[in-house]
């Protein structure tokens, strides 16, 4: 029971783990997942419906989810937004001549485009005013970004629709949008054709809980066909129960407690000279400290204070805040106490400039220069590909890979490329 022991130790150590990362239930301290346990892990037995052709209790949940944005049809998914992105691209394929990938997107978008063998190009949202588009186009856009930034989605969708194009919105990080005044609005407010939300990221639902929303009933039917292809044929009832529970949470949420605790938290951080960069999404912010690199500072917070982040980049440490609510069990006072105990002078010698970890020898990475990438190289998180399969690996790529690995950013695909070319040499 190694995994059990590892997680148990993390949660029950002398200084228990404080989550500033997904999933949104934050170790079951937000929302009401305790209502159900392993006994509720059922299958499509009589009375429990069929997720791929719902006609009973699961259809009712979908109908309730659809009420979130009237005019849309919702479908629960148990394989995450990844499953929704794959299904959306395949569903749109027959009505699309060209897919347009806008700005950075998650690797699942590229996987969907490659698998479906469609034609696609990449574009920057900054250049859209000069962009020629028309009824044969389908845009794929990420809104919000991983770090909680938002583009002018109203303008973007209007632009696409005025030209007869369609929009698929990857709203993986925005299932909590519109939950209360002060939070950004969903792309569905502006008529996105398909929007996919990961319920598990920011709402209190189990990992892999997602929902896909479609505006047109005929597109919904196509989406259902591909969900049936890509999704497990044994959907988890625990995950579905968690979507139902997260939706109830969403509908009845009052944000006063959230905003009050958020303000207290920011004040506590700033008292310790920690820089807090707020985002459009109030449930996310980046923190940094002038005396340390973000990677060093993140290590201090995790090693010394057991406060665990979502992601670290050169710009800072990303925290996903809990959706605090009356009666939650999140250890907020402990968090404030630990922030008050931060003594960075003492950490100077232990953490400054001591970031190197188990990176492959730099010469090994260097040998990839000029080679054709044989497995996409993807820093994770955020899961946005850095080098695509088939692309030539450049000096800039090597520089970024080396920098990230030195700072313990996980890079998927790098070992495979190194091994592949090693074998080729021998
Ligand atoms: C922008 C974005 N889209 C899609 C996904 C995939 O979502 P899921 O983990 O629900 O499959 C992620 C995951 O991190 C993401 O960041």
Q: How far apart are CA 108 and CA 404, in angstroms?
A: 21
Determine the distance separating the centroid of ligand 1 and the alpha carbon of 106, expressed in angstroms: 6
* Reported confidence tier of residue 345, pLDDT bands at 50, 70, 90: confident
- Closest ligand 1 atom number to CA of residue 200: 10
- Closest ligand 1 atom number to CA of residue 142: 1
Rounded to 5°, angle at Cα 204 from 201 and 209: 55
Determine the distance separating the centroid of ligand 1 and the alpha carbon of 218, expressed in angstroms: 25
Q: How far apart are CA 247 and CA 231, in angstroms?
A: 21
Q: Which long-range contacts (CB under 8 A, 24 or more apart) does 295-303 make?
A: 295/355, 295/407, 295/408, 296/351, 296/352, 296/353, 296/354, 296/355, 297/351, 299/351, 299/355, 300/342, 300/344, 300/347, 300/351, 301/342
Per DSSP, 234 falls in state S
Pocket mutation for ligand 1, best pick of 84, 106, 384 (most atoms within 8 Å of C-beta): 106
Residues 214-256: tens digit of each pLDDT? 999 999 999 999 999 999 999 999 999 999 999 999 999 999 9
* Reported confidence tier of residue 387, pLDDT bands at 50, 70, 90: very high
- Closest ligand 1 atom number to CA of residue 145: 1
* Reported confidence tier of residue 426, pLDDT bands at 50, 70, 90: low
Task: Give the DSSP letter string of 152-216.
Answer: -HHHHHHHHHHTT-EEEEE-TT-TTTTSSTTSPPPGGGGT-SEEEEEHHHHSS--TT-EEEEESS
The domains of the chain, with CATH numbers, are 46-251 (3.40.640.10), 255-351 (3.90.1150.150), 362-425 (3.90.105.10)
- Closest ligand 1 atom number to CA of residue 84: 11
Task: Report whether 413 contacts 397 (CB < 8 A).
Answer: no
pLDDT, mean of residues 370-387 = 96
Determine the distance separating the centroid of ligand 1 and the alpha carbon of 381, expressed in angstroms: 10
Residues 399-411: tens digit of each pLDDT? 999 999 888 889 9
Determine the distance separating the centroid of ligand 1 and the alpha carbon of 173, expressed in angstroms: 8
Pocket mutation for ligand 1, best pick of 168, 172, 310 (most atoms within 8 Å of C-beta): 172
Question: Mean of the per-residue pLDDT values for the chain?
Answer: 95
Q: How far apart are CA 310 and CA 382, in angstroms?
A: 9
pTM, two decimals, is 0.95
Task: Report whether 276 contacts 266 (CB < 8 A).
Answer: yes
Pocket of ligand 1 (CB under 6 A): 80-82, 106, 108, 142, 146, 170, 172, 198, 210, 382-383
- Closest ligand 1 atom number to CA of residue 208: 10
Q: Is the pLDDT of residue 11 over 80?
A: yes
Residues 141-187: tens digit of each pLDDT? 999 999 999 999 999 999 999 999 999 999 999 999 999 999 999 99
Task: Report whether 125 contacts 144 (CB < 8 A).
Answer: no
Task: Report whether 367 contacts 352 (CB < 8 A).
Answer: no
Pocket mutation for ligand 1, best pick of 141, 198, 232, 246 (most atoms within 8 Å of C-beta): 198
Q: For 15-55, where are the E strands, in sequence order? A: 18-19
How many CA within 13 A on the CB side of residue 61? Answer: 24
Report the phi/psi class of residue 185: left, alpha or beta, with left for phi > 0 and alpha for psi in -120 to 50.
Answer: beta
């Amino acid at each position: 029971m190694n995994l059990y022991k590892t997680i148990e130790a993390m949660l029950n150590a002398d200084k228990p783990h404080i989550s500033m990362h997904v999933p949104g239930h934050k170790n079951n301290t937000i929302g009401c997942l305790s209502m159900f346990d392993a006994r509720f892990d059922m299958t499509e037995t009589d009375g429990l419906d069929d997720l791929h052709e719902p006609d009973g209790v699961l259809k009712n949940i979908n109908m309730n989810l659809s009420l979130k944005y009237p005019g849309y049809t919702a479908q629960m998914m148990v394989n995450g937004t990844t499953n929704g992105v794959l299904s959306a691209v395949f569903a749109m394929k027959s009505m699309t001549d060209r897919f347009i990938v806008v700005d950075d997107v998650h690797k699942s978008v590229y996987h969907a485009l490659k698998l479906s063998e469609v034609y696609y190009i990449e574009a920057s949202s900054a250049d859209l005013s000069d962009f020629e588009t028309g009824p044969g186009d389908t845009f794929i856009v990420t809104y919000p970004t991983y770090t909680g930034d938002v583009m002018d989605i109203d303008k973007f969708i209007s632009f696409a629709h005025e030209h007869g194009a369609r929009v698929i919105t990857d709203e993986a990080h925005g299932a909590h949008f519109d939950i209360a005044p002060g939070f950004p609005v969903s792309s569905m407010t502006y008529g996105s054709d398909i929007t996919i939300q990961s319920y598990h990221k920011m709402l209190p639902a189990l990992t892999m809980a997602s929902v896909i929303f479609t505006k047109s009933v005929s597109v919904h039917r196509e989406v259902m066909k591909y969900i049936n292809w890509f999704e497990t044929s044994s959907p988890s009832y625990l995950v579905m129960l968690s979507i139902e529970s997260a939706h109830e949470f969403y509908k009845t949420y009052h944000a006063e407690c959230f905003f009050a605790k958020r303000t207290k938290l920011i004040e506590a951080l700033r008292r310790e000279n920690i820089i807090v960069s707020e985002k459009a999404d109030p449930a996310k912010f980046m923190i940094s400290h002038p005396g340390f690199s973000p990677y060093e500072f993140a290590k201090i917070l995790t090693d010394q204070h057991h406060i665990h982040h979502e992601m670290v980049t050169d710009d800072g440490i990303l925290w996903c805040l809990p959706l605090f609510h009356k009666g939650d069990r999140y250890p907020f006072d402990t968090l404030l106490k630990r922030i008050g105990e931060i003594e960075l002078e003492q950490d100077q010698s232990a953490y400054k400039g001591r970031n190197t970890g188990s990176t492959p020898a730099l010469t090994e990475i260097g040998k990839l220069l000029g080679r054709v990438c044989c497995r996409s190289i993807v820093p994770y998180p955020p899961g946005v590909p850095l080098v695509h399969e088939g692309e030539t690996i450049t000096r800039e790529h090597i520089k970024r890979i080396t920098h990230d690995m030195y700072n313990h950013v996980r890079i998927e695909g790098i070992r495979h490329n190194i091994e592949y070319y090693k074998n080729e040499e021998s």
